Amino acid sequence: MIIKEVLKTAIERLKNKNIEDASMKVKMILSDTLNKEKEYLLVHDQDELDEDILKVFDERLNKLISGKPIQYILNKQDFMGLHFYVDENVLIPQPDTENLVEEVIKISKTLKMSKEQLKVLDMCTGSGAIAVSLSKYVDKALIYASDISINALDVAKKNAKSNSLDITFIHSDLFNDIEISNQFDIIVSNPPYIETEVIKSLSKEVQEEPIIALDGGKDGLDFYREIIKCAKEYLIKDGYLALEIGYDQKDSVIKLLQDNDYKNIYSKKDLSGNDRVVVGQK
């Protein structure tokens, strides 16, 4: 079967299953299976594909139809202009989280006016997308990244290595194994923040992601309570705590910061106009 026919048949299959962006996803899977750029498919649309390629492509297509996110099928996702490996052990980095990274970069530039080297902790690092991005774009910063999941840390380490970055990884349940003597200029986190009952109503693709990285407890605020309460012990004087939040959690998270005596609290919206980041200062 030639490439043109393979694409046409596969796109029709996905459309019949009501899968969005069928054409784009089919081309992504086939080009990756061939280890070629997507433009190759257009230039070589009359090329015959061998049975081994067709078998792998069909297996991947079936995974997509079953609800597996395409990022897990291809083991890749771009974030902040960098390439990341992802699998079922980590959340898929989302464009919304780039707002958090960009805000921390902005804070870092302000802090570097008064000190040469910054120490930053990325808590609940998952794929390492935040830590790797900060290590790449914040000059001379010492970046630490922690997670409760050993498997997630393995993925994060792989991403640090593939981007040629030096990051200190810590296996820890929140602050349990973070040394109290480690004082950070910035602690940043995109913690689990979805309400337990809401997870059941999420799309099939999202439910393929690790529950441990999604479930924020009954009201979605369990991790914020713990992080906000403990972070002050690990921040330098006037250090910053920067958090990603759900679209409807701004007021609740700001109140938690206020109740724990943080100052200069503010929030930032994402490109869709949703509240996405809350920052407080020790």
* Helix (H/G/I), strand (E/B), else coil: 218: coil
Superfamily for domain range 77-281: Vaccinia Virus protein VP39 (3.40.50.150)
Region 222-235: mean pLDDT is 97
Q: Please write the tens of the pLDDT for every residue from 150-192.
A: 999 999 999 999 999 999 999 999 999 999 888 999 999 999 9
Q: What is the number of other CB atoms lying within 10 angstroms of the CB of residue 70?
A: 21
User: What pLDDT does 69 receive?
Assistant: 96
Burial (CB count within 10 angstroms: exposed 0-12, middle 13-18, buried 19+), residue 186: buried
User: What pLDDT does 92 receive?
Assistant: 97
Confidence category of residue 58, pLDDT binned at 50, 70, 90: very high
The closest of 90, 69, 93 to 81, measured between CA atoms, is: 93
- CA–CA separation, 246 vs 275, rounded Å? 7
Burial (CB count within 10 angstroms: exposed 0-12, middle 13-18, buried 19+), residue 114: exposed
- CA–CA separation, 4 vs 145, rounded Å? 45
Domain ranges in the chain are: 3-66, 77-281
Confidence category of residue 202, pLDDT binned at 50, 70, 90: confident
